[in-house]
Each structure stands twice: as C-alpha cells, then as structure tokens.
C-alpha cells in the first residue's frame, strides 16, 4: 500500500453572520507512519507523518499545528474561527517526505 495519498475533506459553513464563531472540520488520508512499526518481513517502516499543518482564513493564521507520532492515522481536526469578511479558509500541510497538500473552502459573510 504505497500509493500516493492525497485525499482530504474540509467542511466549513458556506455562509455565516459577521462575528459568528464557526467550526472548521478537516479529515486527511495519511498513514501517519510513526517509524516504530515493522512490516511482515521484519523491516522497519520509516517515519512519515504530517508534521505541520496551518489554517488561514481571510488572510490571517487561525491555527498552526506541530504534529508528532502520537497523532492517529488519517488525522481528524475540528477547530474554530470568527467570521470577519467573506473569504477562503485555506489549509496547508506537509509530511516527512516533503509532500505538500492543501484544501480550501469559501465562507460568505453577511
């Protein structure tokens, strides 16, 4: 199972009232190999985790995460932001192999 994994899901409310606190949910497909496992032939499986994840909204950083080997595979996150202006939520991440990913979703603020 060494296929490239680049699937993710991002959910934000498409519309929000100014000042409203909205929930952002994120689910990424990633093995989060912790580097402590061995395969069926006894070979060590090298560590490969998403070690950094950043969320921006309306040009501002709302969350920055440094992740370790204790994060579950296919990591899930839910966090919040306060709706200011209409704009995009942008999530960017990078794993130990240097593979980068991003997801974006708009919020329309009234």
78 scored as a contact of other proteins (CB under 8 A): yes
Q: Do residues 64 and 51 touch, judged by C-beta distance below 8 A?
A: no
85 scored as a contact of other proteins (CB under 8 A): no
98 scored as a contact of other proteins (CB under 8 A): no
Q: Spell out the residues 6+ positions from residue 70 whose beta carbon is closer than 8 angstroms to its own.
A: 34
Q: Is 74 left (phi over 0), alpha (psi -120 to 50) or beta?
A: left
Please report how close the Cβ of residue 27 comes to other proteins at its closest, in angstroms.
6
Please report how close the Cβ of residue 40 comes to other proteins at its closest, in angstroms.
6
Binding residues for other proteins restricted to 57-76, rule: CB under 8 A? 57, 60-76
């Amino acid at each position: 199972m060494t296929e490239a994994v680049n699937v993710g899901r991002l959910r934000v409310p498409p519309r929000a009232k100014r000042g409203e606190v909205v929930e952002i949910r994120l689910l990424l497909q990633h093995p989060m190999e912790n580097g402590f496992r061995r395969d069926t032939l006894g070979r060590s499986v090298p560590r490969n985790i998403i070690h950094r994840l950043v969320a921006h909204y309306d040009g501002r950083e709302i969350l920055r995460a440094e992740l370790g080997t204790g994060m579950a595979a296919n990591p899930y996150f839910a966090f919040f932001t306060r709706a200011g202006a209409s704009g995009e939520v942008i999530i960017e991440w990078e794993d130990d192999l240097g593979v980068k990913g991003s997801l974006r979703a708009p919020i329309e603020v009234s």
